[in-house]
Amino acid sequence: MMNSLVKKIMFGAGLLLVLIAVPHFLKFHHQDLLIFLTINVLVVASYRIVTLTGEWSLIHAVMMGVGGYTATLLFKNYELGMWFTLPLAGGVSALIAAILCFPLFRMTQFYFLIGSFAAGEAIRLTWIQYVNPFGGTGGLSGVEPPIIGGIDFLDAIPYYYLTLVVVSICLFILYRIENSRIGLTLHAVHWKAALAESVGVDTWRYRALAFIVGSFFVGVAGGLKVHYLGTITPNQFGVGYMVFILIWVIVGGYNKFYGPVIGVIVLTMFDESIRGFDEIRPAIYGAMLIVSILFLPLGLESIPAKLKAWFGVGSAPDEPPLTDK
Amino acid sequence: MPVLEIKNVTKQFGGLTALNDISFNIEEGEIRGLIGPNGAGKSTMFKNIAGFYAPTKGSIVYQGKQIEGKKPHTISELGIVRTFQETTLFQELTVFENALVGCHINARTDLFSAIFGLDRKKQKAAEEKVMEVLDFMGLSDRKNQLASELPLGSQRALAISVALVSEPKLMLMDEPFAGMNPEETNHMMDLTRKVRESGITIVLVEHDMKAVMGLCHYLTVLNFGQLLAEGTPEEIRNNDKVIEAYLGGAN
Amino acid sequence: MELILQFIINGLIQGGFFALFAVGLVLIFGVMSVVNFAHGELVMIGAYTIWLLHAQNGFGFIPAIFVAVMLVTIIGLLMERFLFRPTRDDPLAGLICSIGVLFILQVVATLVGGDGPSKQVPPPFHGTLVLFDFLRIPYQRIFSLVVSVGALSLLWYFLTRTKLGWALRAVALDREAAALQGININRISMIAIGVGGALAGLAGALMAPLTNINPHMGHNVIITAFIVTIVGGVGSLSGAVLAAVLYALFHTFVTVYFGGTVATICGLILMVVVLIVKPTGIMGVRVSE
By the 10 Å C-beta count (0-12 exposed, 13-18 middle, 19+ buried), C177 is classed as exposed
Assigned domain for A163 exists: yes
pLDDT, residue A1, reads: 53
Domain co-membership, A274 together with A233: no
pLDDT one-digit tens code per residue, C104-126: 999 999 998 887 788 888 888 87
Residue C160's alpha-carbon distances to C166, C190, C252, in angstroms, are: 6, 18, 32
pLDDT one-digit tens code per residue, A85-122: 999 999 999 999 999 998 888 877 778 888 899 899 99
Domain co-membership, A57 together with A141: yes
Assigned domain for A165 exists: yes
pLDDT one-digit tens code per residue, A216-225: 999 999 999 9
Domain co-membership, A250 together with A181: no
Confidence of residue C289 (pLDDT cuts 50, 70, 90): very low
Domain co-membership, A214 together with A265: no
Distance CA C180, CA C177 (A): 5
Q: Is the pLDDT score of C248 beyond 60? A: yes
What is the least distance, in Å, from the CA of C289 to any CA of chain B? 8
Asked if B211 has any chain A CB less than 8 Å from its own CB, the reply is no
Assigned domain for A125 exists: yes
Domain-by-domain residue ranges, chain C? 2-217
Total domains present in chain A: 2
Q: Is the pLDDT score of A208 beyond 90? A: yes
- Helical axes B152-165 vs B182-197, angle rounded to 10°: 10
pLDDT, residue A38, reads: 95
Domain co-membership, A136 together with A159: yes
pLDDT, residue A207, reads: 92
Among A132, A147, A130, A30, CA closest to A82: A147
Last residue of a domain, one of A222, A237, A252: A237
pLDDT, residue A318, reads: 66
Contacts of C288 in chain B (CB under 8 A): 13-14
pLDDT one-digit tens code per residue, A257-301: 899 999 999 998 888 888 778 788 888 888 988 988 888 888 888
Domain co-membership, A122 together with A261: no
pLDDT, residue C283, reads: 62
Yes or no: say if C27 and C195 are a contact pair by the CB < 8 Å rule: yes
Distance CA B88, CA B140 (A): 20
Domain co-membership, A209 together with A266: no
Domain co-membership, A190 together with A218: yes
Yes or no: say if B95 and B147 are a contact pair by the CB < 8 Å rule: yes
Contacts of A297 in chain C (CB under 8 A): 93
Domain-by-domain residue ranges, chain B? 1-79+169-181+202-251, 88-167
Cis check: omega of the bond before C86, within 30 degrees of 0? no
Confidence of residue A256 (pLDDT cuts 50, 70, 90): confident
pLDDT one-digit tens code per residue, C17-39: 999 999 999 888 888 888 899 99
Last residue of a domain, one of A219, A237, A255: A237
Contacts of B101 in chain A (CB under 8 A): 184-185, 188, 195-196, 199, 201
Domain co-membership, A199 together with A320: no
State the average pLDDT over residues C91-100: 87
Residue from C79, C99, C223 to probe the interface with A (highest A Cβ count within 10 Å): C99
Among B82, B48, B76, B78, CA closest to B64: B78
Contacts of B53 in chain C (CB under 8 A): 289
Domain co-membership, A200 together with A258: no
pLDDT one-digit tens code per residue, A13-57: 888 888 888 888 888 788 889 999 999 999 999 999 999 988 889
Range of the domain at A60: 29-237
Find the residue in C nearest to B15 (Cα): C288
What ipTM was assigned to the predicted interfaces of this complex?
Answer: 0.82
Asked if A213 has any chain B CB less than 8 Å from its own CB, the reply is yes
Find the residue in C nearest to B14 (Cα): C288
Find the residue in A nearest to C258 (Cα): A129
Q: Which of C35, C261, C279 sits opposite A107 (nearest CB)?
A: C279
pLDDT one-digit tens code per residue, A132-152: 889 888 889 888 777 776 777
Residue from C262, C268, C273 to probe the interface with A (highest A Cβ count within 10 Å): C268
Count the Cβ atoms, other than its own, within 10 Å of residue A60.
30
pLDDT, residue B8, reads: 92
Residues of chain B with pLDDT below 50 are 249-251
Per-chain mean pLDDT for chain C: 87
Assigned domain for A1 exists: no
Last residue of a domain, one of A214, A237, A260: A237
What top-level class would CATH report for the domain B1-79+169-181+202-251? alpha beta
Contacts of A323 in chain C (CB under 8 A): 90-92
By the 10 Å C-beta count (0-12 exposed, 13-18 middle, 19+ buried), A32 is classed as middle
Residues comprising chain A, all counted: 325
Distance CA A277, CA A265 (A): 20
Assigned domain for A21 exists: no
